[in-house]
A and B are shown apart, each in its own frame.
Chain A
């Protein structure tokens, strides 16, 4: 038993443990976002009109572009995992950085969208743009909107950081193969962040728009 491996028996054992740990952590994350979706469930029902008014004011164009970006980003990242599995060290970095770049673009677009919304006074508060009977529900929607997108953005940042870290490890390990599991584990996290957006997108942009 190699001492530097402790507490694991073999490198494989270590990697499996890491993957299992990530899955469990993601289960925890599901419940974090689950609480947010409960808010949606309640208010899109009790404040249907105001909620829908809020949805109608979001920027569908940016939202759709961002959705496409994230889906492609996850797709590209699979190239990195594939490369790692086959031992093609050098192919990992461009694919991973590509995925991270798309993530950055997403964040930039999101920031721009936020700016537009601040200008339109869509941030809840005394000078909120939507008035009339729908004002309450719409403000509830926008409270949710800003919190949900901020939280998701934060997860994106962490994900991008992880990807950059993987690239760094691949580079500095020079020659010695990086365990494909590391690339895999980060990929798991990245797809999760992607998945959350795929659930957020209809809630923030589509349901109630028509």
Chain B
């Protein structure tokens, strides 16, 4: 089943699963159609075949139990096989390159850690783990890369994650596969997998307006975040930590969530905190100020930059390259 190229080892494993499903289906279909035709040939009115008396079963429960258990066993095996392959998608490896992808009616905007941006195309290096952080500015889209056999819905106002290691160079198509309005079928683009030297070359020759984190730093000042939040280099005016929680070391730390259970601060957490769409975890009056919502003020690409910047304020994260890959946030 491979006229659709496999561009990752995951794709190969999915194809094996599909082949397994096809084989089982063919067997079942053979059985169903075979029995149907045999029955017709033997038992049709006017058939020339003699009908021996003993073939007609009268006690049915033995058969019932037989085929029910057989089906159950096959189903359970298929379920486990497929689920194990799926679980992998939720666990991006450490050190994955984080690329921000924003869907918008009807285009894909892509931002790289180095500050490069492009529209409707995605460049990735061969053999390295890449994590896509997906979000949307309007309706629900879906980012689908058939050669990698992966896709994920892209929702407004929150981050979803997809990760992969490409194992074959070349240009492949990606699509928007969630109906998002009349331009839906035009919301496609090209995935370009380059070997590492070509990739470095491409990064160098693509104009970048400072790295993503640098842009975020500028935004952090221009939007007045630094007026309240401590961020190492930019203490708020009065050097007063009581105004707002410090941003230093926040990313990647484990904090008590609103319902008391510990949560790890990741991109989605920061994103939601800035928009006030997350669950505020501090009781009223804990700080002397109240944070305004930046919903409608900051676009998704600016949020991506801010998130990238706040990541750099945690010691374990080398600038821009998100070594501490955040586990993708699970939906509510």
> Which residues of B have CB within 8 Å of A49?
279-280
Contact B290 A132 (CB under 8 A): yes
Contact of B279 among A42, A48, A132 (CB under 8 A): A48
Is residue B25 within 8 Å, beta carbon to beta carbon, of the partner chain? no
> Which residues of A have CB within 8 Å of B78?
none
Q: Would you list which residues of chain A between 94 and 115 have a CB under 8 Å from chain B?
A: none
Task: Give the Cβ gap from B89 to chain A, nearest Cβ, in Å.
Answer: 24
Is residue B223 within 8 Å, beta carbon to beta carbon, of the partner chain? no
CA distance A47 to B259 in the complex (A): 11
Contact of B290 among A42, A46, A48, A133 (CB under 8 A): A133
Q: Would you list which residues of chain B between 290 and 315 have a CB under 8 Å from chain A?
A: 290-291, 293
- Given A42-B332, A46-B332, the answer on whether A133 and B279 have CB atoms closer than 8 Å is no
Is residue B206 within 8 Å, beta carbon to beta carbon, of the partner chain? no
CA distance A193 to B291 in the complex (A): 43
By DSSP majority rule, is chain B's interface helix, strand, loop, or mixed? loop
Contact A136 B276 (CB under 8 A): yes
CA distance A47 to B332 in the complex (A): 12
- Report the contact-size class of chain A (Cβ under 8 Å from the partner): 10 to 19
> Which residues of A have CB within 8 Å of B209?
none
> Which residues of B have CB within 8 Å of A45?
259
Task: Give the Cβ gap from B149 to chain A, nearest Cβ, in Å.
Answer: 32
Q: Which of A45, A47, A49, A133 has most chain B Cβ within 10 Å?
A: A133
By DSSP majority rule, is chain A's interface helix, strand, loop, or mixed? helix
Q: Would you list which residues of chain B between 273 and 287 have a CB under 8 Å from chain A?
A: 276-277, 279-280
Is residue B258 within 8 Å, beta carbon to beta carbon, of the partner chain? yes
Q: Which of B259, B276, B332 has most chain A Cβ within 10 Å?
A: B276
Contact B291 A136 (CB under 8 A): no
CA distance A49 to B293 in the complex (A): 15
CA distance A135 to B290 in the complex (A): 13
Binary contact track A21-61/B, C-beta < 8 Å → 1, others 0: 00000000000000000000010011111000000000000
Contact A133 B280 (CB under 8 A): yes
CA distance A49 to B290 in the complex (A): 14
Q: Would you list which residues of chain A between 106 and 137 have a CB under 8 Å from chain B?
A: 132-133, 135-136
- Closest residue on chain B to residue A47 by CB atoms: B279
Contact A46 B293 (CB under 8 A): no
Contact A136 B277 (CB under 8 A): yes
Q: What would 14 more interface pairs be, CB under 8 Å, given A132-B290, A133-B280, A136-B276?
A: A42-B332, A45-B259, A46-B279, A46-B332, A47-B279, A48-B258, A48-B279, A49-B279, A133-B276, A133-B290, A133-B291, A133-B293, A136-B277, A136-B293
- Listed by A's residue number, 19 A-B pairs whose Cβ atoms lie within 8 Å are A42-B332, A45-B259, A46-B279, A46-B332, A47-B279, A48-B258, A48-B279, A49-B279, A49-B280, A132-B290, A133-B276, A133-B280, A133-B290, A133-B291, A133-B293, A135-B293, A136-B276, A136-B277, A136-B293
